[in-house]
Amino acid sequence: MKKPPFLIVAIDGGAAAGKSSTAHALSTRFNFLHADTGSYYRALTAELLHRGVKAKDAESVRAELADLKFDTQIVARDARMKIHGDRISETDIRSEVVNNAVSHFAALPDLRAALLAYQRNLAEVARAHHFGGLVMEGRDIGTVIFPNADFRVFLHADPHERVRRREREGHVDAVAERDRLDSSRAAAPLTCPAGAVAIDSTHLPLNEVVERIARLITARLLGP
Ligand code: DC
């Protein structure tokens, strides 16, 4: 039997648009490695804040970045970032201080450049660990990181619904303000990638969002 193709699925969208739940469900269903790139921007933000660096001080950010070593720990199907061999806790990366600072750090071209090769290399990590593909979520995955991904998906949802989702998760997060910063920055702004399947998840249950994408993946895996 022919070996199924290794597939890359890029999922982009604003804060709390449903990316993580969708990416997680697809990773489980198809045995794809799951990369939540927002968690990488959050981990770097937490580390830089811990080192006393501010996003306003681009020089210090550059100097500290040159000193940081990242690698990956795979937990089930999740690619988690380690900095100097340690993982920064979920509580720290989802804290209110990080929520408020992360978009400012993410707007810095040096910080994005530091993550570019790391993120692209996760496709090799996924192959090396015999995953069937990679599902990567973020803001610039289908536009910058993997513009030739097999599938590009853009998720969006009404801002009020997205605030409610974050509150239900127990987080305080100014999602509209983060989207404004993420969409208006000069470096790799959040935008719908060319040729993406755009899905509005405001009134769509998660399983329906997942089904729509899963149907496309299944059709590709089954071949012509
Ligand atoms: O997905 P998230 O809300 O956890 O992402 C946190 C922040 O990281 C988001 O406000 C913008 C930034 N980010 C980015 O600029 N590019 C990505 N590919 C992923 C996240």
How many beta carbons lie within 10 A of that of residue 163, not counting itself? Answer: 17
Backbone angles phi, psi at 195, to 5 degrees: 75, 15
Beta partners for residue 12, in sequence order:
138, 154
- For the entire predicted model, the pTM comes to 0.95
Ligand 1 centroid – CA 60 distance (Å)? 21
Residues in the chain: 224
In this model, does residue 171 exceed pLDDT 90?
no
Mutational test site, ligand 1, from 41, 103, 137, 190, max ligand atoms within 8 Å of CB: 41
Domains of the chain: 7-222 (3.40.50.300)
Work out the average pLDDT over 131-159.
96
Give the confidence band of 165 by pLDDT, cuts at 50, 70, 90.
confident
Residue list, ligand 1 pocket, CB within 6 Å: 15, 37-38, 41-42, 102-103, 106, 138-141, 178, 182
29 CB burial (10 A radius; 0-12, 13-18, 19+): middle
CB 220 within 8 A of CB 179: no
Please give the pLDDT value at position 97.
94
Please give the pLDDT value at position 38.
97
In this model, does residue 2 exceed pLDDT 80?
no
Please give the pLDDT value at position 169.
84
What 3 state SS string does 173-186 have? CCHHHHHHHHHHCC
User: Which residue type, as a one-letter code, is found at position 44?
Assistant: L
| 179-213: pLDDT as tens digits | 899 999 999 999 999 999 999 999 999 999 999 99
CA distance 222 to 224: 7
Q: Is 52 helix (H, G, I), strand (E, B) or coil?
A: coil
In this model, does residue 157 exceed pLDDT 80?
yes
How many beta carbons lie within 10 A of that of residue 15, not counting itself? Answer: 25
Please give the pLDDT value at position 224.
75
Alpha-carbon torsion, ordered 16, 108, 67, 126, to 10 deg: 40
What average pLDDT does the structure give for the chain? 94
Q: Which of 112, 12, 20, 101 is nearest to 55 (CA)?
A: 101
CB 13 within 8 A of CB 158: no
In this model, does residue 1 exceed pLDDT 70?
no
Percentage of the residues of the chain whose pLDDT score is greater than 90 = 85
Nearest CA to ligand 1 atom 7: 38
Percentage of the residues of the chain whose pLDDT score is greater than 70 = 100
Ligand 1 centroid – CA 107 distance (Å)? 10
| 101-133: pLDDT as tens digits | 999 999 999 999 999 999 999 999 999 999 999
Please give the pLDDT value at position 6.
97
Work out the average pLDDT over 57-70.
94
Structure tokens at 176: 């509209």
67 CB burial (10 A radius; 0-12, 13-18, 19+): exposed
CA distance 184 to 81: 27
Ligand 1 centroid – CA 116 distance (Å)? 13
Nearest CA to ligand 1 atom 15: 106
